[in-house]
Amino acid sequence: MEYIGRKPTNIMGVSLLHKCNFNCEHCGYIYVGEAEDHIIKPGYKLSWSQLINALDDCKSIPGSYWNMNYTGGEPTLWEDQGKTLVDVLIQTALAGQSPSYNTNGSWFDDYSRTYDFFFRYMEATTVPLMTFISMDKFHKNYDGLTGRAKSLDNIVKVMDEIPEEWKSQFRTHVIIIITKEPDSTLSAEMKAHYGASGITFGDFPLMRIGKAKKLVDQVPEMIEYFPPNQNESGGPRVLVLVGDDYYIGSERKGRLGRLKDLYTF
């Protein structure tokens, strides 16, 4: 899958909150007891001011262009100081960075909310926006018999209403968590149906973390999915922001407002 527009030089996963409206049996990030094996704890929420500080940090790294990928919990449930996820995405674009987010798609089960979300973003910026939707046998967000999903139907409908010159601004990619079972991915017919409207699909292996530890017999052989942690700037290419701290994996590496300390110039 290719980026539209300028390709980011760095990636930052930004955890917005711990809350989710799903309770998936494989989840490694939420509802895992006291989340003893994850740095996000119950009750966690990133503030709007912390987000602004993170965007300022990104600007402080000469020559960098960041893909700010917003996750949770479920990021569409985030709100702070009257701001919601779409405000986060717009602010990221206006700050000169590349926004994307991971969602279970439930926000888009309502057509009017879907329309407002994408049109509001489009009216604020021309920076491309990437939507990643988790959709697989662990997420009860599609009809397995018909191979259809209300969220994808609404996104397709809204994209059809967007002016032609702006259609390429939006990309939707479905992430499918797969197991050892050869038929654990979504059906070819479902992929073809939504693929005709530009939605793409990709398999991702079940991870042995959180509640998925109970599903160890379903975990497939691991493939090298992740990019290297170092880049030409002399600092980490992939970081995770949780509250006031930057991490690589579960290891704390730096403090919010001090991102420059991780780089050599």
- Nearest by Cα to 95 from 52, 48, 61: 52
What are the tens digits of pLDDT across the range 42-78? 789 999 999 999 999 999 999 999 999 999 889 999 9
Contact 256, 58 (CB under 8 A): no
Per-residue pLDDT of 177-190, as tens digits, reads 999 998 999 999 99
When pLDDT is cut at 50, 70 and 90, the band that residue 128 belongs to is: very high
194 phi/psi in degrees, rounded to 5: -80, -25
Beta bridge partners of 217: none
- For tokens 């497939």, name the residue: 220
pLDDT of residue 72: 87
The string of DSSP letters for 18-60 reads S--S---TT-SSSSSTTTTTSS--TT-B--HHHHHHHHHHHHT
Contact 72, 45 (CB under 8 A): no
Nearest-10 Cα torsion for 186, 192, 198, 203: 30
The HSE-up count of residue 106 (CA atoms within 13 Å, CB side) is 13
Enter the DSSP assignment of 64. Answer: -
pLDDT at 163 over 80: yes
Expressed in angstroms, the distance from the first to the final Cα of the chain is 31
Looking at the chain, which runs of residues are DSSP E strands? 10-15, 66-71, 79-80, 83-84, 98-103, 129-134, 170-178, 200-205, 238-242, 245-248, 251-255
Structural domains in the chain, sorted by start: 10-262 (3.20.20)
Q: Using one digit for the tens of pLDDT, what is the confidence trace for 16-38?
A: 998 899 988 888 654 444 445 56
